[in-house]
Amino acid sequence: MKYTIVFIVIYLIWIMLTWNMEPANFFTGAVVSLIITALFGREFPYHPEHTFQPGRYFAFARFLGVFVVQMAKANFIMAYRIISPGLPINPGIVVIPLRLKSPLGRIILANSITLAPGTFTMDITEDTLVIHWIYVETLDPAKAEECICGRLQSILKEVFE
C-alpha cells in the first residue's frame, strides 16, 4: 500500500508538470514513476494508514487557512520594516519547545515558522526549536511559543499524530 501511495503521488506530479495529453507521455510517466517508486518507496510515507483518515485532511485545511493569513501578514510587516527609515528591528535568538514527534510534521512546522511574521527557524533539536526573531518581545520560552506558533503546533499535532 505504501508503494501505491508513492506511485500515485509521483504520477500526478508528472502529469501536472508535463501536461501533455498524448498516450506516449502517459506511458513514459508510468515507467518513470515505477522506477522512482521502486527506488524510494520503501522510505516515504511513515504512516500509510493516515492517508485514509478524512479528519486529518480537514485539520490540514484549517492549518492551511491559518498559514496563508500568517504568510500574507508576514510579507506586509517585513515590507514595512524594510522601507521605514529607522529600521525598527531588535533581533535576537529564542528557544521554544517542540512537542511534535512525526518528522513530516516537524518539517512543516519549521517551514511555516520561517514564513510566519518576523520569525525564522535556525536550528532544530530533539525537543526544541532555535528561532531567530527580528523583533524580540519576550525571552520566556512559553510566552515566545504562544507568540510565534499560536495554534499551529496543536493543529499539526492533529494532522500528523
Partner 1 sequence: MNDLIGQVLLSVGLCFTFLGCVGLVRMPDVYCRLQAATKCVTLGTGSILLAAIVMTGVSGTGVKAAVCMVFLFLNSPTAAHALARAARSSGIKVWQKQDGAKKDI
Count helices and strands in the chain by DSSP H and E runs:
6, 3
Distance CA 19, CA 12 (A): 10
Q: Which of residues 42-81 bind partner 1 (CB under 8 A)?
A: 71-72, 74-75, 78-79, 81
DSSP 71: H
Distance CA 151, CA 161 (A): 16
The verdict on 36 binding partner 1 (CB under 8 A) reads no
56 vs 81, beta carbon nearer partner 1: 81
The verdict on 104 binding partner 1 (CB under 8 A) reads no
Backbone angles phi, psi at 103, to 5 degrees: -55, -45
Distance CA 69, CA 7 (A): 32
The verdict on 128 binding partner 1 (CB under 8 A) reads no
5 vs 130, beta carbon nearer partner 1: 130
Say if residues 118 and 135 touch (Cβ distance below 8 Å): yes
116 vs 155, beta carbon nearer partner 1: 116
Distance CA 121, CA 111 (A): 7
The verdict on 83 binding partner 1 (CB under 8 A) reads yes
31 vs 122, beta carbon nearer partner 1: 122
Give contact residues for partner 1 (rule: CB under 8 A).
Answer: 13, 16-17, 19-20, 71-72, 74-75, 78-79, 81-83, 87, 89-93, 107, 110-112, 114-115, 118, 120-123, 130, 132, 134
